[in-house]
Structure 1
């Protein structure tokens, strides 16, 4: 898995998938619709030694644990704590941005309002996080 996306909004999932399909060169994406599912997928990735190159995390998850708690969970897990965590939220509130960074986010992106802007954002995201960013050997399937 290249990218684990924590997102519970089906409309956003559809748009993200469409944008990725438009610009991606085979990025393997897995969606989790709640924090429990994301934690389970991450646990399996650790067991399989197939850590994602990054996690894209929505903060506002309906009816349960928030994206903030997922950030904390990942950062407190010795086997997952180095995974780049990128918040992808509709919130541009300073308190959310500051809290996300305090809880371990590496980056904070605000969801754009137009599909064309989303496509450009996905293109930039994939270029940096999937191609240019150098990850430790464990993320490349090496020991």
Structure 2
């Protein structure tokens, strides 16, 4: 039986995804992360989650993905009613204001630029954890 991950992370950079898993575990050993490497796999997995009534608490989405873009993945996520209230955070190397604006217009809950260095990643993940898992209230 598949279990809902706390964080569903769509990231094509395998090295960064690997480091991210360590950062998440360093912040909270109880958090679970599921990682997929492209938009098509992400959409397929999310449809499977919806069918099985599994819902991640947070979706982290890279902007620049092979195949369909992060923005297109975001649009598709927002079309799945089961995930209507799941926060989606764009997490990208981009700091282009047009990317930020477009992401928020489509329905992203936030846009974060990936930090440089492991220490800064820990700080970023800690902030995500503090807000989205402890302070924010959600009905999902």
Q: After TM superposition, is the score higher than 0.5?
A: yes
User: So what's the TM-score if we normalise by structure 1?
Assistant: 0.90
Assess if the C-alpha contact under 8 Å between 2:25 and 2:31 holds in 1: no
Greater mean alpha carbon deviation, residues 12-21 or residues 86-95 = 12-21
Does 2:48 correspond to 1:70?
no
Assess if the C-alpha contact under 8 Å between 1:4 and 1:54 holds in 2: yes
Gapped runs of 5+ residues in structure 1? none
Which of 3, 6, 15 lines up with 1:2 in the alignment?
Answer: 6
Partner of 1:24: 28
For residues 81 and 12 of structure 2, what CA distance do their matches in structure 1 show?
Answer: 26
Assess if the C-alpha contact under 8 Å between 1:53 and 1:135 holds in 2: no
Partner of 1:116: 119
CA RMSD of aligned residues (A): 1.2
Does 2:42 correspond to 1:41?
no
SS of corresponding position for 1:14: helix
Q: List per-residue Cα deviations over 1:54-106 (Å, max 9, x = no partner).
A: 100000012x0011011100112222222111010000011111111111100
Q: List per-residue Cα deviations over 1:17-57 (Å, max 9, x = no partner).
A: 12112111311110011111111221122122221111000
Equivalent residue pairs, number: 136
Moved over 6 A (4+): none
SS of corresponding position for 1:79: helix
For residues 119 and 61 of structure 2, what CA distance do their matches in structure 1 show?
Answer: 21
Partner of 1:86: 89
User: So what's the TM-score if we normalise by structure 2?
Assistant: 0.91
For residues 26 and 37 of structure 1, what CA distance do their matches in structure 2 show?
Answer: 25
SS of corresponding position for 1:109: strand
Gapped runs of 5+ residues in structure 2? none
Assess if the C-alpha contact under 8 Å between 1:60 and 1:67 holds in 2: yes
